[in-house]
Amino acid sequence: MSTGIFLICILEVLAHPVMRAWVWAYYSSVASVEYDVIYVTETWLCEDIDSWYLFDDRYLVYRKDRGSSSNSSRRGGGVLVAIKKCLSPRKLDVPGLDLEAIWISPSTDWNDGNDGCRSDCVGDLVKFENVTYDDVVLAISELKSSLTVDVDNVPSFIIKDKIISSFESGSQLDVIYNDFSKAFDSIDFDILLKKLQGIGFHVNLIDWLLSYLCKRSLYVYFNNAVFHEFTSTSGVPQGSNLGLLLFILFINDLTWVFKYSGCLLFADDLKLFGSIRSDLDSVLLQRDLDRLFKWCIDNRLHLNIEKCSVLSYTRKTQPLIHVYKINNLVLSLSNTVTDLGIIFDSKLDFSQHIDTMVSKTYRRLGFLKRRTREFSSELTLKVLYCAHIRSNLEYCSIIWNPNYRNKIEIIERIQNNF
């Protein structure tokens, strides 16, 4: 449908204190690039400079000059908007605003599902992630896995590769699984501000990001009762695109703290690991664990030490046992651990994971059979099977892929049962 859209998307910002002296330079820049909308501030234009000096006949130009050539005391300032004629722009009169501003409404196709305007002449408008990509991608540590990746559960795949390499070298790999307590809700705004400044974000972008977080009023609604509102001083909204990005930027420098061990980050899931050949290697891993605790104190994040655990991967009959501590609290030594939905064991056998997965899948299969007895559509049954049964069997199968015939037959039996 056709609707009016206020000019809130600025594709290119051009500014210079003495624009008149650079008219032809700006004209060459504009003529060489297919911009849809051009917004200029601090134009320093006056009445004796025509718009056709600046833009060709593809654009309609709207200006608001502050002064004229005869009134030198009012020189400076001024705004300009140039927009392609194919957008059929029209100038809007916004009463009651004592501002040096121009409001333009282009006519184009728009719906809530679009990231931008739909029009043959418009193309894709710039999205927020494209604008910030160059600033963010260089700042994020290469050791950190993305929150959205093409391969399921990349951190678990990497740790499996480390374990196999350790087995092949005849050594032991100690992995410390750390659990942050309410990590997303504990992000301190002041610390986040300093980190964004340290990364090199422009002050305007920082202000925009913080405006999304600060001065948010929250309240608790329970049993038809609303408790008093309060202003949040920490925390990023979970489930939002900006929340995930800001959390990654906040925790990014953690990967630089460790000196002797490797680490893997997936959102707030942290694994610290080191190859253990002697007691000295265990001591060095403990030192990095102490650095982790100090970093948490400095950044006002808390570890749920009761949920942190240690798993020693080895095929030795007598592994090296070391007592690891966080804040003088001993971490539990486990034989198995569930890491991002996969059950790892010290021998990297995955038998317990397969048995647990098969049991869970059979329960789902029984539920589907009871609920779909009267279904006659093969397509519907196939969709339900793929969504609830096959998806469970295939989750991260590249990691736990069974080597034994009996485990393979157990899995195939489920598919044949459907």
- Average pLDDT for residues 258-274, to the nearest whole number? 90
311 found inside a domain: yes
Distance CA 102, CA 7 (A): 9
- 298 with 203, same domain: the answer is yes
208-241: per-residue pLDDT in tens? 888 888 877 778 888 888 877 888 778 888 777 7
* 177 in Cβ contact with 266 (< 8 Å): no
Distance CA 397, CA 160 (A): 12
Q: Total domain count for the chain?
A: 3
What pLDDT was estimated at residue 280?
A: 94
Does the structure show a pLDDT above 60 at 120? Answer: no
131 confidence band (pLDDT: 50, 70, 90):
low
Window from 94-98, 323-327, 356-360, 381-385 with minimum mean pLDDT? 94-98
133 confidence band (pLDDT: 50, 70, 90):
low
- 312 with 340, same domain: the answer is yes
- 334 with 197, same domain: the answer is yes
398 found inside a domain: yes
Of 288, 310, 345, which residue is a domain's last?
345
Does the structure show a pLDDT above 50 at 121? Answer: no
- 99 with 185, same domain: the answer is no
- 338 with 360, same domain: the answer is no
Percent of the chain with pLDDT strictly greater than 70: 74
Check residues 3 and 373 and name the one with the higher pLDDT.
Answer: 373
Does the structure show a pLDDT above 70 at 84? Answer: yes
CA 53, distance to chain mean position in Å, is 44
Does the structure show a pLDDT above 70 at 101? Answer: no
Enumerate residues 6+ apart whose C-beta is below 8 A from 164: 348
13-68: per-residue pLDDT in tens? 334 444 444 555 555 555 556 677 887 777 777 777 777 667 777 888 888 877 65
Check residues 341 and 418 and name the one with the higher pLDDT.
Answer: 341
- 248 with 166, same domain: the answer is yes
- 333 with 370, same domain: the answer is no
Of 294, 324, 345, which residue is a domain's last?
345
201: left (phi over 0), alpha (psi -120 to 50) or beta: beta
What pLDDT was estimated at residue 200?
A: 80
Of 345, 361, 383, which residue is a domain's last?
345
What pLDDT was estimated at residue 229?
A: 81
What pLDDT was estimated at residue 108?
A: 55
Does the structure show a pLDDT above 70 at 354? Answer: yes
- Mean pLDDT value across the chain: 78
Distance CA 181, CA 235 (A): 12
Distance CA 313, CA 173 (A): 5
- 155 with 72, same domain: the answer is no
Distance CA 146, CA 293 (A): 24
- 98 with 169, same domain: the answer is no
Most confident of 100-109, 156-165, 238-247: 156-165
What pLDDT was estimated at residue 124?
A: 42
What pLDDT was estimated at residue 26?
A: 57
Enumerate residues 6+ apart whose C-beta is below 8 A from 254: 263, 265, 270, 292, 295
Does the structure show a pLDDT above 70 at 279? Answer: yes
Percent of the chain with pLDDT strictly greater than 90: 26
Please, what sign has the CA dihedral across residues 331, 332, 338, 343?
positive
- 236 with 337, same domain: the answer is yes
Enter the tokens of residue 83.
């927009």
328 found inside a domain: yes
* 53 in Cβ contact with 61 (< 8 Å): no
CATH of the domain at 291: 3.30.70
- 217 with 340, same domain: the answer is yes
Window from 125-134, 161-170, 226-235, 242-251 with minimum mean pLDDT? 125-134
What pLDDT was estimated at residue 13?
A: 36
Give the structural domain span for 285. Answer: 151-345
